[in-house]
Amino acid sequence: MPPDMHSLADDLTAETAVLRALLADLDDAGWEAPTPAAGWAVRDQVSHLAHFDDAAVQSATDPDAFRAGLAALVESGIDPDRIAEGYRDLAPAALLDWFETSRARLVAVFGDLDPGVRVPWYGPPMSAASSLTARIMETWAHGQDVADTVGITREPTGRLRHVAHIGVRALPFSYLLRDRAVPDVPVRVELAAPDGGTWTWGPDDAADRVTGPALDFCLLVTQRRHRDDLALEASGPVATEWLSIAQAFAGAPGPGRPPGSPA
């Protein structure tokens, strides 16, 4: 059964509301507060989301223009830090308005797309459903940095399944990104869901396994926590190696976070 785009759009809207609540009471100093991402303030987390929301909309509505821009960007190097720097003259109110406008357009555009239609992106093309799921993952991950900055612990929800799913599916990408051979050994992933259930991927008889809380797995694959700070268990050489390089997001290999990151 294909993914339901309206359901995905609803989950993105819900995740957006969580982030919006974190931003609601920030003054100008709060927008400039440094986050756990080196060199990035809260404002940079938000501009990053708005920028790539606009890019996702263009990939769906004008793929030829997106590919042309991507070619030029690849030639000069895709640098999130440089992209963030380009928006630092925006006042917080203007930045928030941009994010909300871009997010609303993204939800409207993607909600009516065929989930299987292919759209270009920064790497292999992906389905519209995967692209929208990636926006949920990005919103949750960058929202984690904002939550850590303002000292708020978010309640985990069933929307983490989207993040975990991308993390599992990105196993080959994590290896290719680091010029390593993709293992041909299956990995079983069993995660304790927030509602007390269990989410699983991979054959149940696989020797290589990853188990633990879904929240911890999502924090790992989005590189928001160091593995030493998480209650994840890996058995087998492939599962163990994968957790050391897991990356759910596109772009260059992420530096990860040092042990003892904010909890």
pLDDT, mean of each 10-residue run, the chain (263 residues): 88 98 96 96 98 97 94 74 94 98 98 95 90 97 98 97 97 94 97 98 98 98 96 98 94 84 63
Number of domains in the chain: 2
**DSSP one-letter string for 79-118:** -HHHHHHTTTTS-HHHHHHHHHHHHHHHHHHHHTS-TT-E
pLDDT score for 141: 98
Let me know whether 9 and 119 are in one domain: yes
CATH number, residue 219: 3.30.1050
What single-letter DSSP state applies at residue 34? B
**Cα separation of the two ends of the chain:** 38
User: Pick from 154, 189, 223: which residue ends a domain?
Assistant: 154
Let me know whether 56 and 20 are in one domain: yes
Let me know whether 147 and 20 are in one domain: yes
* Full residue range of the structural domain in which residue 241 is found: 161-245
Q: What is the pTM of this model?
A: 0.95
Residue 251 belongs to a domain: no
Let me know whether 19 and 51 are in one domain: yes
Length of the chain: 263
